[in-house]
Structure 1
């Protein structure tokens, strides 16, 4: 193929071709991770709702023992990580769509990552503390 033919097939403007601007090639990955975390949240959420309903009227010691069980603790930690990851991805899309000032968007991105990371770490540490008997 000739270079001239390739140039005509490229839908970018001449300026975008020179600057190397084009598809970021990350939209599909973001979309897939959002869907994967949603599926994980539905499945684990159903399990955890059933677990919570089974605890109706249980004493603190029984509830503590159930959360401290390694299987339940692992499921809870997986749910928490998926939940905060899913929230981070969702808020990121909102920022991309509705925040048009670059400085404010950058600040919002950093705040989103920071808040979701801190909340996830604190939640996981709480489950670990319960599991280890503290």
Structure 2
């Protein structure tokens, strides 16, 4: 028979596993995405706005850029969350910092996706 304490422990473990798994998946996803991004930056070094807009108007380029942006930000938020949980000992400061990094990461994601789509569709 399970007690409330056991269920709470299982829930925390499930969340911990999900966090660990998400961080590993984003790290694996970022390997090819980072290589693609680095190659793209090298290929378009010195290009003007029109050339970048033409490149991002390709569905493949814009989708890969959005995936790179999303995976990078999500991976960063997960990693910073781990640092905060491990090293910020005041509960109120820890909660505030976790809320801040999640909101900031979400705001950066929205702004980045908007910028990519705007460049892709309007040039």
TM-score (norm 2): 0.87
Q: CA deviation at 1:130?
A: 0.5
2:51 corresponds to 1:100: no
Q: Report the aligned-residue RMSD.
A: 1.9
Q: CA deviation at 1:18?
A: 6.3
Q: CA deviation at 1:58?
A: 3.1
Q: Where does structure 1 lack aligned partners over 5 or more consecutive residues?
A: 7-16
Task: Please identify, of 19-28 and 66-75, the stretch whose mean Cα deviation from structure 2 is larger.
Answer: 19-28
2:36 corresponds to 1:22: no
Higher-RCO chain (CA-CA 8 Å, sequence separation at least 6): 2
Residues 82-97 of structure 1 correspond to what in structure 2 (within 5 A)?
A: 82-97=71-86
Residues 1-134 of structure 1 correspond to what in structure 2 (within 5 A)?
A: 19=5, 21-23=8-10, 24=12, 25-134=14-123
Residues 24-77 of structure 1: CA deviation (Å, up to 9, x unaligned): 121111111001101111111101111111113434322221122111000000
Q: Distance between the aligned counterparts of 1:121 and 1:60, measured in 2? A: 21
TM-score (norm 1): 0.81
Residues 1-42 of structure 1: CA deviation (Å, up to 9, x unaligned): xx8xx9xxxxxxxxxx66554241211111110011011111
Whichever of the two has the greater Rg, that structure is 1
| Structure 1 stretches of 4+ moved >6 Å | none
